[in-house]
Structure 1
């Protein structure tokens, strides 16, 4: 988690410097205090506006009122906002202020409290009542929520003590066997709130001809996913061989999908390529017999299985590796 610590007084700046190494965070202080080994700001508001979205979490050592006013124009939605916690200058409390669940502020407050001997203050109702929220479950599964509104509605039922069931795929073995493509709900309730979480556990390995367009690559991915009734939202990352590291269409396709493009070296591929059916033609071209399958495997946790070993689409090869969600 990439963290920043912010301060606007001399005392808070000294605390920030003290905490920085322990929390492995970048430290921001005001230039007029000349605190060494920190990023010295001329203007707090301008610097915060510039850097707010460059961190996973922000730790403010100041009054909560100041923080609320300063971030009010910067926050957008709970599914994309970074975690925000506040520490009082007296070093007594660490307060989870924003993005408690999806952003990880609640967990961050707990970690800071333990490391710095501060009292964590958590106010989200599901946490203080000892009940799990849907967005917390989504975060723990590294998934993507179908709808924040639906998640809120189902969490409200949980907090209110209502009956809520959970249906999970076969590799999350609680009480249900087998992947499902349909759900039958048996209930005498007219209205039943439900929400879906998309686990991000699919790794795509891709090989393609030089000059393949972004549009062509996106179409190939869509068709490969549709073949297996898989959601684009569950793609964790995309991987390819090092000779394709500058392939513009592939780079742009990954950006459009909002996925990391992982580059796998041919030396690493050589270590596993004998597990797959390869091509001597491909070896003559780039020095390895196959691309998509080893790239998908090597970019994954290695704990799972192939759903698609080699989907061919007009000059492209796509492999889909499914990681286990839970052990």
Structure 2
């Protein structure tokens, strides 16, 4: 790794020389050069004879990492014209002149700025400032996986989307060729080579050297919707509530197996119309079936006074299922409509 340390004051230059001395024995760096203004330069540093901005322009792409011992604002304004992409830009870190806080500013994962900030902080007794979401949450980003495997990311945008799944606690599967194995410490990443994709997998990272990888999706019909609504609720309102709930749950509309409701809603025109539009069967659950299990779910005195049971959507979803699955969303309210989502 080629590291450039850039300073603008006498104190920062002295700190840069000190840091180089501490980092050299780690054997992590091919070269460490210290750049400073000509008036502070000596035989241990390289003078910025053409000024700060011109020097950064000349060296920005010549080093793997740039460490600025100065205010972050100055750095941001200076490097902005040279930024291209996270898979090309060098790692950029900053710190105060005392080296108390070492901030990973740019290319935290692919460029290694997060790791570098931690390494420097460990060696000089500072505090690393890492703000990338995956690191803060204790998970691992897709670009970090690529870096650890010394591999190339084909698509940064999809990598960002899959990383978002990991950060949000969703499970992501890493599919590897038979001749590779890797162990990555993450609660949200399945790094084994399972024979079948698990039901709770929300994303997949495929590692392959093939130019084209054909991927298709088969959508199982294993989602049951329990619906409760006010009398004479419009079909559009019911459909909006279903679509919103399915989207929030990251579920495809084609995965709906059937819709269930309580017996007093068997003639609800809006609900019948929606089942017809979606081509889904409407399962009717008798209130007497609900009563023994209604206390397992959030209930309402008003609903009980009106129809004789305390809740509708959750118990009808459960009772109309194979009863061996789980609720993805037990209750979602929207404009007088209540939707429960049960996955078999």
Short-chain TM bin: 0.5 to 0.7
Whole-Å separation in 2 of the counterparts to 1:186 and 1:160: 18
Following superposition, the deviation at residue 133 of structure 1 comes to: 0.5
Partner SS, residue 176 of structure 2: coil
Whole-Å separation in 2 of the counterparts to 1:68 and 1:2: 21
Following superposition, the deviation at residue 185 of structure 1 comes to: 5.5
- Residue number among 137, 146, 149 corresponding to 1:129 in the alignment: 137
Whole-Å separation in 1 of the counterparts to 2:43 and 2:78: 25
Partner SS, residue 54 of structure 1: coil
Paired position in structure 1 for 2:113: 105
1:175 correspondence with 2:192: yes
CA 1:61–1:231: 2 relative to 1, 3 Å: same
Following superposition, the deviation at residue 35 of structure 1 comes to: 3.3
Whole-Å separation in 1 of the counterparts to 2:33 and 2:208: 33
1:2 correspondence with 2:2: yes
Paired position in structure 1 for 2:78: 70
Paired position in structure 1 for 2:154: 146
Paired position in structure 2 for 1:81: 89
Deviation digits for residues 87-139 of structure 1 (CA, Å, limit 9, x no counterpart): 11122111100000000000001111111111111000100110001100110
> What TM-score comes out, normalization by structure 2 length?
0.53
Whole-Å separation in 2 of the counterparts to 1:177 and 1:136: 22
Which structure 2 residues correspond to residues 162-311 of structure 1 after superposition, within 5 A?
162-170=170-178, 171-172=180-181, 175-176=192-193, 193-198=203-208, 230-231=210-211
Contact 2:171–2:203 under 8 Å retained in 1: no
Larger radius of gyration: 2
Following superposition, the deviation at residue 176 of structure 1 comes to: 2.1
Structure 1 gaps of 5+ residues are 179-183, 200-229, 233-327
CA 1:141–1:34: 2 relative to 1, 3 Å: closer
Whole-Å separation in 2 of the counterparts to 1:57 and 1:175: 33
Paired position in structure 1 for 2:42: 35
Whole-Å separation in 2 of the counterparts to 1:98 and 1:107: 12
Contact 1:144–1:198 under 8 Å retained in 2: no
Partner SS, residue 28 of structure 1: strand
Partner SS, residue 95 of structure 1: strand
Contact 2:173–2:205 under 8 Å retained in 1: no
Structure 2 gaps of 5+ residues are 25-31, 183-190, 213-344
Give the structure, 1 or 2, with the largest relative contact order (CA under 8 Å, sep 6 or more): 1
Contact 1:13–1:35 under 8 Å retained in 2: no
Paired position in structure 1 for 2:287: none
Partner SS, residue 33 of structure 2: strand
Whole-Å separation in 2 of the counterparts to 1:198 and 1:98: 28
Following superposition, the deviation at residue 148 of structure 1 comes to: 0.3
> What TM-score comes out, normalization by structure 1 length?
0.55
Following superposition, the deviation at residue 33 of structure 1 comes to: 2.0
Contact 1:145–1:197 under 8 Å retained in 2: no
1:114 correspondence with 2:131: no
1:156 correspondence with 2:164: yes
Contact 1:3–1:26 under 8 Å retained in 2: yes
Aligned Cα RMSD in Å?
Answer: 2.4
Whole-Å separation in 2 of the counterparts to 1:113 and 1:11: 18
Count of aligned residue pairs for this structure pair: 195
CA 1:2–1:196: 2 relative to 1, 3 Å: same
Partner SS, residue 76 of structure 1: coil
